[in-house]
Amino acid sequence: MAVVILVLALVSSSSRLTRAQQNGVAPAANAADTADPMFKEPYIDVDEWRDKPVRHRYVHGGFKGTDARFSFYFPPKERYQGRFFQHITPAPGGENLEQHATGVEDQISFAIESGGYFIETNEGGPTAMMNPSVSGFRVNAAAAKYSRTVAAEMYGPHRTYGYAWGGSGGAFKTISGFENTDVWDGVVPYVIGSPQAIPNVFTVRIYAMRLLWDKFPSILDAVEPGGSGDMYRDLDPEQKEALQEVTRMGFPPTAWFDYKTLGEGAFPILFNLVRAQDPTYFNQDFWTVPGYLGANPPKSLQQARVQLKTRITKVISTGNGDQAAKARGGVDTAWNQFQAEAPVVFEVENVPSRSLSDAFLLIQSGEGAGKEVTVSKIVGNTVVPGVNPFAGDNSQLLKSIKVGDEVKIDNSDFLAAQTYHRHQVPTSDFYVWDQFRGPDGKPIYPQRPKLVGPMITYGGAGSLQSGKFKGKMIVVESLMDQDAFPWQADWYRTKVKENLGAQLDNSFRLWFTDHAVHGDEYPPVDPTRLVSYLGVLYQALRDVSAWVEKGVPPPPSTSYKVVDGQIVVPSTAAERLGIQPVVSLTANGAVRAEVSVGQPVKFSATIELPPSTGKIVGAEWDFEGEGTYSAVQQISESKSNPSGSSVTLTMTHSFAKPGTYFPALRASSQREGDASAVFARVQNLGRVRVVVK
């Protein structure tokens, strides 16, 4: 029911957006600094002291007449410094998601260690989705406002400063709340998108994956340390154009490292929203109208298309279908709650001759004739249906399919979606679409009557980014983000600058995190290539609070350029700025070394910090690609400058087996120089290539 309501909300929201609003210029909603009439009667149903994860007073409650729920985690009075921290998740997953987190992911402990209490909400529950502003920011704002009342009762009358942070879809909501209310004093949105992000960041990625799958090893070899640098070298013209297209749209080339497991992100779940908004693109125009790829399909598209008629031979009950996957509120995991296993799978007479996912099972006879079921995968001759909540409840339809029913497996719509971004050209400030504009500035491809991205953004956040806010903001963005392409943070910075002008640096920072991807899980998916940005995120929250409360400006924004859709940063810490250490690493004096088995390799490294960002507190080596960083090197005074902001290191290692290795040095810094700190340890790494013969 919840997702059906959300679909209705998203579809109905399209009629509220003008063309200018679709391009990302939506008027601000009414400020919610006054009492929200929907949430005027708060209540508390749990109030108790707890000892885990740290000593705190737990307060749970909601607002009468609504499904909105909240949880507050108050520290003992002696640890409280007059502030709160509120995490905002991409999708409503519940108001107690963080109670079982540990280590660096423990947001409750972080908030209390940072002198504040912690807030989380369920963003209003299922019924709130009917009104995007309610689930987008009003529930979060109402809970934050009421928390101040409880804090005053507990600690005595005082000024309670408030800070929020959220990533991906939660970043949209964080920005929406900050731009439309006066509840928070500062925010840290992270891995942010733009109003044109969905579905376009996913469609161009899927298009590239279809054409480049067998070429990714060559592409990666070129862009890895010690590679040729020419990632187009082994591509045919169609493949080269596809890689250029996805790169110019902003996908970071080094982020293809996990192409085998990267998948399609949230797109399979959101796909039906796109179809609902623009049905004629799929069922009519793409395959027939000149200017669309399908009207004159290249051989690769013809070979990829499947329209196979077959028959159901067996229906197998799985006993599932009612249990959605459990998920915490992470930017990569929040969507898991909307996925469930199908209650049945189907055996069919014949299946496509190649691997296939992302298709529809079109029912052509029997009780369900004329309807369709999403196919998530085909294993052998077994078709596994997808349970996609954004397509509505299909449980009864699945039960109606019987042995002998004629069906067709068809992936035409999913193929059509792969170039949908070409027909969604927005205004010129979205510069990555310049590749689809002619010399006159007009689109070279036919354009759809609607821009779908802003509709989906508005439906999820309750407004579109305007760049107009009061207070302080630090944006944290990842340079290897496969989902929220990094240029989008620059787009939002431009919106803020339009509003603040010369006063931009008085209220706004943008920090890019090198060697980090979209997900906020710890450890990252591949520790040999990546670092977690959680340390940057936590330090940003502490810095934004010092900025607001004490007038202490945080370190400057990262210095960067945008080149053909890619964010390019300087190679030295002094030029790059931000707060992340920069690691320069060589093997036998170069980024690539070729040696024999057993021959020692001398590794030399320099770790540098941007000015006034702390001290280097850790250096760990991973030579064999295990990701364990078991070789820990002590930071001695003799190897560090007096401030602790620059360190030179050497290490020798030999390899017992032939092969190609990518040794890495992971460096950590901490603002106060505390090597034992769990939170706000900022990391980066350097990598080289060693070929052992």
Residue that is written with structure tokens 């979205």 in the block: 430
DSSP β-bridge partners for residue 509: 474
- The pLDDT score that the predictor gives to residue 41 is 97
pLDDT(208) > 60: yes
DSSP β-bridge partners for residue 434: none
Q: How far apart (Å, rounded) are the C-alpha atoms in residues 520 and 536?
A: 11
Which element (helix H / strand E) includes 107? helix 107-113
User: Omega before 199 cis (within 30°)?
Assistant: yes
Tens digits of residue pLDDT in 594-629: 999 999 999 999 999 999 999 999 999 999 999 999
* 94 lies in some domain: yes
- The pLDDT score that the predictor gives to residue 635 is 87
Q: How far apart (Å, rounded) are the C-alpha atoms in residues 555 and 671?
A: 11
Amino acid at 426: P
Residues 52 and 138 reside in one and the same domain: yes
Residues 21 and 135 reside in one and the same domain: yes
Residues 161 and 207 reside in one and the same domain: no
Q: Which of 471, 75, 39, 425 is nearest to 249 (CA)?
A: 425
Residues 540 and 634 reside in one and the same domain: no
Residue that is written with structure tokens 């005082």 in the block: 158
Residues 29 and 106 reside in one and the same domain: yes
- The pLDDT score that the predictor gives to residue 391 is 57
Which pLDDT band, with edges at 50, 70 and 90, does 24 fall under?
very low
Please give the structure tokens belonging to residue 133.
């502003």
Q: How far is CA 668 from CA 166, 200, 368, 542, 645, in A?
A: 24, 35, 59, 18, 11
Average pLDDT over residues 182-210: 97
pTM above 0.85, yes or no: yes
Residues 131 and 167 reside in one and the same domain: yes
pLDDT(187) > 90: yes
- The pLDDT score that the predictor gives to residue 257 is 97
Q: How many residues does the chain have?
A: 693
DSSP β-bridge partners for residue 406: 311
Please give the structure tokens belonging to residue 614.
């702390």
Q: How many domains does the chain have?
A: 4
CATH number at residue 338: 2.40.10.170
* 325 lies in some domain: yes
- The pLDDT score that the predictor gives to residue 357 is 75
Residues 325 and 240 reside in one and the same domain: no
- The pLDDT score that the predictor gives to residue 425 is 98
User: Omega before 195 cis (within 30°)?
Assistant: no
pLDDT(578) > 90: yes
Tens digits of residue pLDDT in 340-364: 567 899 999 999 987 787 899 999 9
**E-assigned strands of 615-672?**
615-622, 631-632, 646-653, 659-661, 664-670
Q: What is the dihedral of CA 204, 209, 215, 221, to 10 degrees?
A: 70
Which element (helix H / strand E) includes 349? none
Strands 406-410 and 307-317: antiparallel
Q: How far is CA 602 from CA 225, 586, 623, 650, 656, in A?
A: 17, 8, 12, 7, 15
Q: How far apart (Å, rounded) are the C-alpha atoms in residues 360 and 371?
A: 10
pLDDT(116) > 80: yes
Residue that is written with structure tokens 């036919």 in the block: 446
> Could you say which of 379, 394, 410 is where a domain stops?
410
- The pLDDT score that the predictor gives to residue 11 is 44
Tens digits of residue pLDDT in 638-686: 677 888 999 999 999 999 999 999 999 999 999 999 999 999 999 999 9
DSSP β-bridge partners for residue 308: 409
Q: What percent of the chain has pLDDT over 90?
A: 83
Amino acid at 327: A
Residues 439 and 498 reside in one and the same domain: no
Which element (helix H / strand E) includes 126? none
* 393 lies in some domain: yes
Tens digits of residue pLDDT in 49-83: 999 999 999 999 999 999 999 999 999 999 999 99
CB distance 442 to 419 below 8 Å = no
* 300 lies in some domain: no
Of residues 611 and 25, the one with the higher pLDDT is: 611
DSSP β-bridge partners for residue 387: 340
Residues 159 and 10 reside in one and the same domain: yes
* 384 lies in some domain: yes
CB distance 75 to 55 below 8 Å = yes
Phi–psi pair at 180, nearest 5 degrees: -115, 0
Residues 73 and 84 reside in one and the same domain: yes
pLDDT(266) > 70: yes
* 270 lies in some domain: no
Tens digits of residue pLDDT in 387-401: 765 556 788 899 999
CATH number at residue 683: 2.60.40.650
CB distance 511 to 475 below 8 Å = yes
Residues 187 and 62 reside in one and the same domain: yes
Residues 11 and 114 reside in one and the same domain: yes
Residue 81 CB contacts under 8 Å (≥ 6 apart), including other chains:
115, 116
Alpha helices of 452-600 — where are they, by DSSP H? 452-461, 487-500, 534-550, 573-576
Phi–psi pair at 51, nearest 5 degrees: -105, -10
Which element (helix H / strand E) includes 170? helix 169-180
Residue 233 CB contacts under 8 Å (≥ 6 apart), including other chains:
218, 222
* 626 lies in some domain: yes
Question: Considering Cα of 139, then 143, then 144, then 146, what sign does the dihedral take?
Answer: positive
CB distance 98 to 111 below 8 Å = no
- The pLDDT score that the predictor gives to residue 389 is 58
Please give the structure tokens belonging to residue 669.
């810094």
CATH number at residue 38: 3.40.50.1820
* 566 lies in some domain: no
| Structural domain harbouring 21 | 2-197+457-550
